[in-house]
Amino acid sequence: MLDVSVDGVPVPPSADRPLRVAVVGAGPAGIYAAEALTRQDAVPVAVDLVDRLPSPFGLVRYGIAPDHPKMRAIRDTLHRTLDDPLVRFVGNVEIGADITLDELRRHVDAVIYTYGAALDRHLGIEGEDLPGSLAATEFVAWYTGHPDADRARVEAALTGARSVVVVGVGNVALDVARVLARTADELETTDMPQHVLDALAATPVEEITVLGRRGPAQATFTTQELKELGELEAATVLVDPAALVVDAETEANADRNVTRNLAVLRGWADHTPEPGRTRLTLRFCARPVRILGEDRVSGVEIERTAVDADGRAVGTGELEVLAADLVVRSVGYRGTPLPGLPVDERSGTVSHEAGRVLRDGSHSRGEYAAGWIKRGPSGVVGTNKHDARETVASLLADVAEGRLCTGGPVGDLVQELQDRGAEPVLLDDWRAIDAAEVALGATRGRARTTLHEREALLAAVRAAAARTR
């Protein structure tokens, strides 16, 4: 437990002894939390922005698809917070391995958990673990160059894949389908690692079926992302016009996104397959019941569904088999516990009230949460700004009301980590990685190429340090 007083007297934060906050997870939620802390004058603060990886930006780097450079450019805006002198980026630090949560808490007055929701959800059907069946999280980690990606597993699944089934109709499913449908030329200028570009170019995809267990009016993808499928250089989007017949009540009550999605989908209803082009079929009211295959995926058994009055998918008992060499399930993410921090098993989120972490139903002093680990995997990057502000407002209210004061002197986190033999990556080190990626990209006329191995990231740091010695 934190010491909130010196000799029993509460000590408010001051310029000499600011409120020290560790933000765990340097993705958008963590960076927006750091921004909210530094953009207020009421409480002097010093923020350590801790990340397991040597690089900041979380899903902006390892989630947003590399063929969306404009969206990825938000990192330039986020970088302004990293550059703030009140914020210290401390990467390559794993809570539970390099330092325990209790030890971390002894170095700060408060912790904000913003480490996201990294695990995939399962379908819970037979055949799900066959070679050739991947989670979208695995595929996305691979194509964005995440150091923990299982390259051999993903590339084995892609080898020879002509027919692909993507399960789910959210934006991640569309990212997966679009990346698979793109030509080598379309991906050439992205920051994907070269081995990813080579493997995608060698994958002979002819047919991609994106499977929604409910109707088009219940799909969670957004219109801009949907429209992009229609702009692919070498793929034709196919959709059965009969699937786009929506009952009058649903149509009348549809929100703007759904109305626009339906209009886009109806614009494709007269498409027919074109020789030489990838067929990208959006198939609604069908759910996977079994993934077929002996040594690897050979197909997916699906059941037609209907949407009931409560908007749920109910099986009709009508079965069909889709041939498939590769299945990618894109059915949502879930958060995992941090050693020392429980998360709710079902929701995959931390229990909280307005961002204040609850342990055994009570506010746990000095612990807060923001982003996906707080609210679950929903919304766009900007959603985290509002979310982080709510959490920081709770934290600042706790300071104002004397529930969270600065304690006595605390040791320096980075010094402590270095004394333990850990290798924390600080802002200048990250700049060295950044420069190495830009230099690598330039060798092939690209703006950047992502370094995908942890050792390569750390080697860039060490080389820069050796140059300045």
The residues of the shown chain that bind ligand NAP, judged by CB under 6 A, are 123, 167-173, 175, 212-214, 218, 220, 225, 287, 313, 330-333, 377-380
Counting other chains too, the contacts that 122-125 makes at CB distance below 8 Å and 24 or more residues apart are: 122/329, 122/331, 123/167, 123/288, 123/329, 123/331, 125/288, 125/289, 125/290, 125/291
**CB closest to ligand NAP, residue no:** 170
Instruction: Give the nearer residue to ligand NAP in terms of CB position, either 60 or 93.
Output: 60
Helices (H), 130-230: 136-144, 151-158, 171-181, 184-187, 194-202, 223-229
* Nearest CB to ligand NAP, comparing residues 326 and 461: 326
Instruction: Report in angstroms how near the CB of residue 369 gets to ligand NAP at its nearest.
Output: 18
In the complex, the smallest distance separating the C-beta of residue 117 from ligand NAP, rounded to whole angstroms, is: 9
**Residue 381 beta carbon to ligand NAP: minimum distance, rounded to whole angstroms:** 8
Q: How far is the CB of 111 from ligand NAP (least distance, A)?
A: 25
How long is the chain? 469
Residue 13 C-beta: closest distance to ligand NAP, Å? 35
Give CA separation, 15 vs 44, 55, 247, in Å.
6, 29, 62
Residues 6+ apart with CB under 8 A from 198: none
What is the Cα Rg of the chain in Å?
A: 24
335 contacts 342 by C-beta, under 8 angstroms: no
Q: Cβ closer to ligand NAP: 170 or 293?
A: 170
- Please, where are the H alpha helices in 63-150? 69-72, 74-82, 101-106, 136-144
What's the min distance (Å) between Cβ of 379 and ligand NAP? 5
**Closer by beta carbon to ligand NAP, 46 or else 172:** 172
Q: How far is the CB of 125 from ligand NAP (least distance, A)?
A: 8
Contacts of 142 (CB under 8 A, 6+ apart): 149, 150, 151, 154, 155, 196
Residue 218 or 406: which CB sits closer to ligand NAP? 218
Q: Which residues contact 48 (CB under 8 A, 6 or more apart)?
A: 20, 21, 22, 23, 88, 90, 107, 108, 413, 414
Query: Vertex 357, ends 90 and 122: CA angle to 5°?
Result: 80
Residue (218 or 278) nearer to ligand NAP, CB: 218
Least separation in angstroms between residue 466's CB and ligand NAP is: 39
Rounded least distance, CB 166 to ligand NAP, Å: 10
Angle of helix 136-144 relative to helix 171-181, nearest 10 degrees? Answer: 50
Please state the closest distance from residue 288 (CB atom) to ligand NAP, in A: 7
**123 or 141, CB closer to ligand NAP?**
123
Those residues with Cβ within 8 angstroms of residue 86's Cβ, 6 or more apart along the chain or in another chain:
18, 37, 38, 45, 46, 47
Residue 406 corresponds to which tokens in the numbers above? 């600065």
For ligand NAP, give the closer residue by CB, 204 or 382: 382
Q: Which is nearer to ligand NAP, 81 or 171 (CB)?
A: 171
Please choose, from the candidates 30, 23, 86, the residue with its C-alpha nearest in 3D space to the C-alpha of residue 61: 30
In the complex with ligand NAP, the residue whose CB is nearer, 333 or 368, is: 333
Q: Output the six-digit token pair for 355.
A: 């961002």
